[in-house]
Amino acid sequence: MTTTSTQNGRLQGKTAVITGASTGLGFESARQFLAQGARVIITGQNKARLDAAAKQLGSGVIPVLADVLKLPDLDALAQRTKAEFDKLDILFANAGLGTFAPFEAVDEASFDLQFNTNVRGLFFTVQKLAPLLKPGSSVILNASAVSGKGGPSASIYFATKAAVRSFARTFGAELAPRGIRVNALSPGFVPTQFLGRAGLDEQGAAGLAEQVTKSAPLGRAGRPEEIAAAAVFLASDDSTYMTAADLLVDGGWASV
């Protein structure tokens, strides 16, 4: 699918960076940002996936190979963003991962990978790109509906997302004097490639889906386009009186 900008989109003329956008929610968000008139830099750590995503997204997108675990990559991302856009209107810190195991089975490598990606990587993504953000710009942090919940076999992942929710508050307070808004976007259960990378087999993913959809008032999983539409809202001028907030897009799962 090739995406072209609309003439009067909600993000017309804006510049955006979306990390972890070669697949899943990041990719769909990039597609919708482009359709709404933005110019978008997408990042990923796998060149083949990133190039394929850029080809599918079409004109207006710039792929940048970058791993949020590596600070030199984030420095290079900031330099490339300045060279392409000079200033930045939207930063969607979306890159993240999770693995699921009983806490007795969690090893040091799994613990460190999740915290280094979801917490450290997100923190330094925002820190490195913050100097480019214009007054009135929007930072979106991909948190999760699990940030205020508890559950078996997900202690590390849930904790990382609670930290991301906290960052939305602290970054929101710290960047407000510059006119920059920071909000968390918290998806519920949305089937994407994330589940396979989380170590869930088909049976495990089906079990998780059943558990969540039974307890969510809307009684179904979410769709990537629904999460991306919420990202467009937070990125746009429609949300100019929102900061330090957590936008739950989870079918009611975390609230009921």
Q: Which one of the listed residues 14, 87, 134, 161 is annotated catalytic?
A: 161
Domains of the chain, CATH where assigned: 15-247 (3.40.50.720)
Sequence-ordered list of residues with C-beta below 8 angstroms from that of 168, at least 6 positions apart, any chain: 141, 143, 182, 183, 184, 244, 245, 246
The question of whether 157 is a catalytic residue gets the answer yes
Whether 216 contacts 208, CB under 8 Å: no
Percentage of the chain lying above the pLDDT 90 cut: 81
Percentages helix, strand, coil for the chain (3-state, rounded to 5) are 50, 15, 35
- In terms of DSSP bridges, do strands 88-93 and 133-142 run parallel, antiparallel, or are they unpaired? parallel
Q: Where are the alpha helices (DSSP H) in 93-135?
A: 108-115, 122-129
Q: Is 161 a catalytic residue?
A: yes
Return the pLDDT at 3: 43
State residue 195's pLDDT score: 56
pTM of the entire predicted model: 0.93
Q: Hey, which bits of the chain come out as E strands? A: 15-18, 39-44, 61-65, 88-93, 133-142, 181-187, 246-249
- Asked whether residue 6 carries a pLDDT value surpassing 50, the answer given is no
Catalytic residue among 47, 157, 214, 241: 157
Q: In degrees, to the nearest 5, what angle opens at C-alpha 146 toward C-alphas 140 and 148?
A: 90
Between 11-25, 172-186, 212-226, 238-252, the lowest mean confidence (pLDDT) is in 212-226
Q: Tens digit of pLDDT for each residue in 168-220?
A: 999 999 999 999 999 999 999 998 766 556 555 666 667 667 877 888 999 99
